[in-house]
Chains A and B, each alone.
Chain A
Amino acid sequence: MAVESKISALRYLEAFPGKEILERLPTSLMERINALFEGLGDESAPGAASQNYAGHNHGSNGGAPIPRSSILCMDLGSSYTGYNEIAGGTIATKNLVVSHEIGPRYISPGLASAGLDAATDLLLSLSVIGGPLKVWGGILESFAVEVQPTTAVEFKWIALQVPILEDNGFFDLSISFKSTSTSSATYSVRTLDEVENALSLPSLGSRPLRASDAFTSGTILSYFGTGATLDSELVDALESLDAYTLKILFWSLNALFEQTLDAPAPGTIAQKVKGHDHYKIADGGFGATPIPAGRIFSMGAPEFAPAMWDLTTVALNVWQYADKDYSFPLRRSAGVPDPATGAGVEVMFEAFVSAGVTSTGSPPTANPFLIAKLYTVGATGEVRIFNHTTTTLSPVVTIASGWTTIEKIPCIGDQWNSFTVQYRSTGTVGTFKTRSLLLFETYVDAAGDPASIVDSSGSGPIGLYRGRAQNAKGEGA
C-alpha cells in the first residue's frame, strides 16, 4: 500500500497526444488528489497512515481571504436630545483636522493585498451643525466624504470606505474631521458599524471552476473514501493507467469539487457530498478546520467619558465585578467573586463562539482561545474574565489607563458563552472606569502566535495565498 499525498506540477506535456501514459502521471495525480483531500477537509487521505498537509483555513494555512462582516460595532443607545457620544467636538478653524481613535479591530488575513482597491464599509450615525465638514476613516483624506450641516442636531447615516492597508492583526480605526469653511462646525458620532464585505475582497482568478459542458448527459459519480483509495500500487502493478484507476480518479475529483464549492459536480444536478463548512466531520460538521469569526461582542467607546461600568474597590487584592458601583437594573453583578475560581454571581454579557473553537482550561494553555480589548481609565491593578459556560478564567492581566489586551480567554464553540469581568486593586484602592470592551476570535495574538484557530494534524499548507507577490514558479510544493 502506498497512499501518499504530494503536490507536484501536473504539466500538460505529460499527457500530450501521442505520448504514452505511463506510471509517473497517474501516480502524481493520485498524490495530488490525496493532498487536495487533506488541504480541503483537514483529514488524512483515505487509506493513508497519517495526514501530511494542513487543512486550509483562509489564513495561515492557505485559502482565499474571506470578509467577516462586522469588525467593530459601537452602539450605546441614545435619544435624539440626550445622545451618548462615541466621538464629537467643535472645529472653529478652516482646514483644521481633528482625529479620534475609535478602537482596535481585527482585519482578516489577505484583505490588504488589494491595496487601495479594497476597503471596509464604515457606517456612522453622524450629526453636523454650524458648518460643513469632511469626514474620513483611516489615514487617507482622499477617501473623505463632505457632510453638509443641519440647523439643529440631526443624526444621519453616513457611509464611508476605509482602505485596508494592513491585515491579519489588530489595527486602530481613526475617524478624522476637517472643517471646509470658516463657520464653526460641531459634530457628533452616535453609532458606528464597520464591516468587511464584498468591497473588502481582492479580485482573484479570472473564471469560476466549472465545465463549459456542465449539464451534458452521462453518469457522474462522486466518492472519496477507504472503499477506493488512491493507492499508487494500482499503477505500479500495471505500469499504466487502467479503467478502474481512471474511474476512482473521476470519483474522487467529483467528490472534491462538491465538497469545495457545495455545488453538484459538473454534469449532474444531484449533489452527493455536502460542502465543507469549517467544522470537523468528527465533531458533527461537514469538514475542514474551524476558522475565527472576528468580533463576537463589543461594548462602549473609549471616548465615552461617563464609562460603561464603574467599580470602586474597597480593599487591596480582592476581586470584584466591574459594574459594582452601578445600581439595578443596569448592574449585573452581585456579591464577591470566588478569589480562586471567579465563580459566584451574575452574567454580565453573552457572545456566540464559532463551532470548533473550544478551550476550557483555566486559563487555556494553547490555542484556540478568545482575545479581549478592554479600555479603562482611573485606577490601576489587575483584570480577569470569567467564562460562566466553561466555569474557567482567563489569565490575570495588569492594566493601565487605555487599552489592555487579555488573551487566552476560555470558550466553548457552537454555543453562547457568558462572561463576567473582574478587577482587583494591587497598589492603592480606587475606581476602575470601563469605557469599552471588545471580544474577538482571531487568527493570531499580539505575538503573532495562533489564537482562535485549531491546529491541524498536517504540517504545512498545500499552497499559500500571498496576494500580488504569490506568483513564484512552483510555489505551493
Chain B
Amino acid sequence: MNVSGWSVLKQERIRIANRLRALLPSSLQACSNGLYEAIAAAPAPGSEKLFIQPHDHGSNGGTPIARGSHWTFYGATASSWGISIPVSGSYWWKSFEADATKALVDEVSPVNMCPDIPIGLDSSTTSLSSIPCALEAKVRVYLPTSANTAIDFKFFNVTTGTSSDVQTATAFNAVTLLHFTAIPIRAGLRNQMIFAAQSNIAAIAVDVLTLNLCSSRTFTQPESGGALDMIANPKP
C-alpha cells in the first residue's frame, strides 16, 4: 500500500518523537509520493492510481506562466483597420459591425478582439516588473500627413473596464511600431478588447496595419509569494 498526500512537516514533531515512531516515516513517504504525483502527473511508483491533482500552472497550482500570442491581426489591405477620428481630444475606435468609428465613451460592443486569458494571469496581481500583470503588444500604425503633431493609442479592456498604457506616434506620412506593456487582463475567460486612438489638434484617419498581443514573463507572470529561488534560499 502506498499513500500520497501531505501532513504538516513541522520541527516540533521531531522533538516530541525522541524515539522515532512509524508515523513520521510514513508521513515522509506520503509527502514524497504526493510530490511525485504533483510533479510528474503519474501514479507514485508501486501504485496504480493517481490520487493527487498534478500541478498545471493553472487551477491545480504552480506559477501561472506566459503563453505566447493571444491575438494576432495582420491587415489584408492598408485600410483593413482604419480608425477615423472626427475630433481631437478624445478616444475613438473602429466598430467593424457598424463600419464606423465610435467614441470610446459610447457603446463598446461588439469589440475588436476577444483574447483568451489563462487562469492565474490577472491584473489584480503584481508582475515580475512590479506593475500589475498585463499583456504586451506590438502594433504597427500608419499616420497620413495632417495638422496633428501626435496621435495617442491605447487598448481598452471592456471586461476589466480599464485602459492600457498610452503610446504615442509622432511620425506622419510614416509607419510607426508601438510597444505596449500594460494591457490589463482578467484571468480565466475571454476578455473583450478595443483598440482606440486620439488626435491632439485635428481630425485624422489612421490605419492599424499589424497587431500581436502576447503574454511575456516580465509583464504577465505574477510575482511569487516566495522571496528567493531554491538555490539562493538560505539554510535555516
A211 and B28 contact, Cβ closer than 8 Å, known pairs A7-B36, A155-B96, A330-B209 = no
Interface residue ranges of A222-267 to B (CB < 8 Å): 222-225, 227-228, 240-241, 243, 246-247, 249-251, 253-267
Min C-beta distance of B143 to chain A, whole Å: 9
Cα of A352 to Cα of B46 in the assembled complex, Å = 42
Contacts of B7 in A (CB 8 A): 211, 213, 266
Contacts of A26 in B (CB 8 A): 25
Whether, in the assembled complex, A297 has its beta carbon less than 8 Å from a beta carbon of chain B, the answer is yes
Assess the B11–A66 pair: CB atoms within 8 A.
Answer: no
Cα of A308 to Cα of B210 in the assembled complex, Å = 12
Assess the B55–A261 pair: CB atoms within 8 A.
Answer: yes
Cα of A193 to Cα of B55 in the assembled complex, Å = 26
Whether, in the assembled complex, A195 has its beta carbon less than 8 Å from a beta carbon of chain B, the answer is yes
Between-chain CB contacts (< 8 Å), 15 pairs: A10-B2, A10-B46, A12-B3, A32-B32, A39-B39, A77-B75, A155-B97, A219-B10, A250-B14, A263-B61, A274-B230, A277-B221, A300-B76, A352-B69, A463-B43
A222 and B74 contact, Cβ closer than 8 Å, known pairs A262-B224, A352-B68, A465-B54 = no
Cα of A247 to Cα of B59 in the assembled complex, Å = 31
Number of residues on chain B facing chain A (CB within 8 A): 116
Number of residues on chain A facing chain B (CB within 8 A): 153
Interface of B is mostly: loop
Assess the A296–B214 pair: CB atoms within 8 A.
Answer: yes
Contacts of A66 in B (CB 8 A): 56-58
Contacts of B48 in A (CB 8 A): 471-473
Assess the A351–B69 pair: CB atoms within 8 A.
Answer: yes
Interface residue ranges of A154-174 to B (CB < 8 Å): 154-155, 157
Assess the A211–B8 pair: CB atoms within 8 A.
Answer: yes
Cα of A14 to Cα of B46 in the assembled complex, Å = 13
Known: A157-B114, A272-B227, A275-B226. 16 other contacts (CB 8 A): A11-B29, A29-B28, A69-B67, A70-B68, A193-B115, A211-B6, A213-B7, A253-B9, A260-B38, A278-B65, A285-B229, A295-B68, A297-B212, A298-B69, A308-B74, A328-B175
Assess the B42–A476 pair: CB atoms within 8 A.
Answer: yes
Assess the A218–B11 pair: CB atoms within 8 A.
Answer: yes
Question: Which of A79, A260, A462 lies in contact with B61, CB distance below 8 A?
Answer: A260
Chain B residues with CB under 8 Å of chain A are: 1-3, 5-15, 20-26, 28-29, 31-63, 65-78, 80-81, 96-99, 110, 113-119, 136, 138, 142, 174-175, 177, 179, 188, 190, 207-210, 212, 214-218, 221, 224-231, 233-236
Interface of A is mostly: loop
Question: Which of A213, A216, A225, A462 lies in contact with B230, CB distance below 8 A?
Answer: A225
Kindly report which residue of chain A lies nearest to residue B117, judged by CB atoms: A69
Assess the A218–B10 pair: CB atoms within 8 A.
Answer: yes
Kindly report which residue of chain A lies nearest to residue B7, judged by CB atoms: A211
Min C-beta distance of A205 to chain B, whole Å: 4
Whether, in the assembled complex, A209 has its beta carbon less than 8 Å from a beta carbon of chain B, the answer is yes
Whether, in the assembled complex, A64 has its beta carbon less than 8 Å from a beta carbon of chain B, the answer is yes
